[in-house]
């Protein structure tokens, strides 16, 4: 699979209309994707083991999307093979009182993966330039100095903060991949209706999601601007087609495996002295 077709190159202006949410690269259904997904999950397991053993790099994976685009299912399926000790998932909702008492990156900084680990952000610091931008009253409710809240240039400044922060992380050994799950408005409606119709999906439905849906175009504009401004070589955005869940999962797994493969991971090599210790231990065990 050519995952470059999903990557937003640094400095380009994203137009979501150029990205088909129903794209599936000629694959017809789930069965067509199954084997490749399974292979990727296996490969990810091997690579993650080395990442953990090496304990130098970490991988941060950001998921952003409209409701019902499939973030949760993608995380569940794609990460199904990895050792739970090597991953952390942080889900970001509206900030708590304690979080609002700090700068907006504070809670995200605290949730970053340690060296050797994969960290998943289910929603992220990008909410600060998405939901907060679409709903100006949220910004007004933040405990910021008035000259900052009312600065007409606040979004560009936040893009700069985010770019610099991610660059800083990258230059300290954190690899970063950011996914936007690109679901169509029609498919979202279909999934909401399923959540209402099927009892075992009722819990996933929230009436507030229908209200957010009425801001669809504002969200798309906010996503386009945020992604255009923050897709960098160090921390690229990928626009993943999300109308077919099985293709979404395959594409995500492919991007993650490619990134891990590029990281030059290997098991730590032991020194001659350590090898002699191993031989001595073997002799002792056998005698
Ligand atoms: P689900 O798939 O279960 O619905 P979700 O990620 O949508 O998962 P919810 O609890 O439904 O989880 O929604 C979290 C809400 O928190 C979203 O509406 C999101 O926009 C909001 N949120 C996240 N970060 C912020 C933030 N910094 N400021 C304000 N709202 C935020
Ligand atoms: Mg939700």
SS3 letters for 112-170? Answer: CCCCCCEEEEECCHHHHHCHHHHCHHHHHHCCCCHHHHCCCCHHHHHHHHHHHHHHHHH
Residue 172 pLDDT class (50, 70, 90 cuts) = very high
Task: Give me the half-sphere count of Cα atoms (radius 13 Å) on the Cβ side of residue 57.
Answer: 20
Report the 10 Å Cβ neighbour count for 235.
Answer: 22
For position 67, what pLDDT does the model report?
97
Q: Whose CA is nearest to atom 13 of ligand 1?
A: 93
Give the closest ligand to the alpha carbon of residue 127.
1
Calculate the average pLDDT of the chain.
97
Residue 91 has a pLDDT of 98
Name all domains of the chain by residue range, CATH numbers in brackets.
Answer: 3-286 (3.40.50.300)
Distance 70 CA to ligand 1 centre (A): 14
Give the residue, by CA position, lying nearest to ligand 1 atom 18.
93
Instruction: Tell me what pLDDT residue 35 has.
Output: 96
DSSP assignments along 22-86, one per residue: T--TT--SHHHHHHHHHHHHHHHHHHHHHHHHH-S-EEEEEEEESTTSSHHHHHHHHTTTS-GGG
Which pLDDT belongs to residue 124?
98
pTM exceeding 0.75: yes
Which residue has the least CA distance to atom 31 on ligand 1? 94
Non-local CB neighbours of 44 within 8 Å, separated by 6+ positions: 78, 81, 82, 253, 256, 257, 260
What's the half-sphere exposure (Cβ side, CA atoms, 13 Å) at 203? 1
Q: Which helix (H) or strand (E) holds 171?
A: none
Q: Are 59 and 259 in contact (CB under 8 A)?
A: yes
Radius of gyration of the chain (CA): 21
Q: Which residues surround ligand 2, an ion (CB under 5 A)?
A: 67
Find the 123 Cα to ligand 1 centroid distance in Å. Answer: 7
Mean pLDDT, residues 47-70? 97
Q: Which of 64, 116, 104 is nearest to 220 (CA)?
A: 64
Note the pLDDT of residue 153.
98
What is the rounded (10 degree) CA torsion for 217, 69, 27, 15? 30
Percentage of the chain with pLDDT > 90?
A: 99
Band of the pLDDT at 209, cuts 50, 70, 90? very high
Q: Note the pLDDT tens digit of each residue in 127-171.
A: 999 999 999 999 999 999 999 999 999 999 999 999 999 999 999
Mean pLDDT, rounded, for 196-204:
95
Over residues 21-26, the mean pLDDT reads 97
pLDDT band at 216 (very low <50, low <70, confident <90, very high): very high
């Amino acid at each position: 699979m050519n995952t470059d077709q999903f990557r937003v190159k640094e400095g380009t202006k994203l137009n979501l209309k150029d990205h088909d949410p129903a794209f599936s690269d000629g694959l017809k259904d789930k069965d067509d994707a199954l084997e490749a997904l399974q292979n990727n999950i296996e490969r990810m397991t091997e690579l993650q083991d080395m990442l953990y053993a090496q304990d130098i790099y970490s991988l941060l994976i950001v998921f952003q999307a409209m409701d019902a685009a499939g973030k949760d299912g993608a995380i569940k399926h794609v990460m199904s093979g990895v050792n739970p000790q090597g991953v952390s998932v942080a889900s970001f909702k509206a900030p708590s009182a304690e979080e609002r008492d700090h700068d907006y990156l504070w809670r995200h900084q605290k949730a970053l993966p340690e060296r050797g680990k994969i960290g998943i952000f289910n929603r992220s610091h990008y909410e600060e330039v998405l939901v907060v931008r679409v709903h100006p009253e949220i910004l007004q409710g933040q405990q910021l100095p008035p000259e900052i809240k009312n600065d007409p240039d606040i979004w560009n400044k936040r893009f700069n903060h985010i770019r610099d922060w991610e660059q800083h992380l990258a230059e300290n050994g954190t690899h970063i991949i950011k996914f936007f799950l690109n679901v169509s408005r029609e498919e979202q409606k279909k999934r909401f209706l399923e959540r209402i119709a099927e009892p075992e999906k009722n819990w996933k439905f929230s009436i507030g999601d229908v209200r957010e849906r009425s801001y669809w175009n504002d969200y798309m504009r906010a996503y386009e601007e945020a992604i255009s401004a923050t897709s960098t070589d160090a921390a690229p955005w990928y626009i993943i087609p999300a109308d077919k869940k099985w293709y979404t999962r395959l594409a995500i797994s492919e991007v993650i495996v490619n990134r891990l493969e590029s990281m030059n991971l290997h098991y730590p090599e032991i020194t001659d002295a350590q090898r002699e210790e191993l031989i001595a231990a073997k002799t002792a065990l056998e005698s």
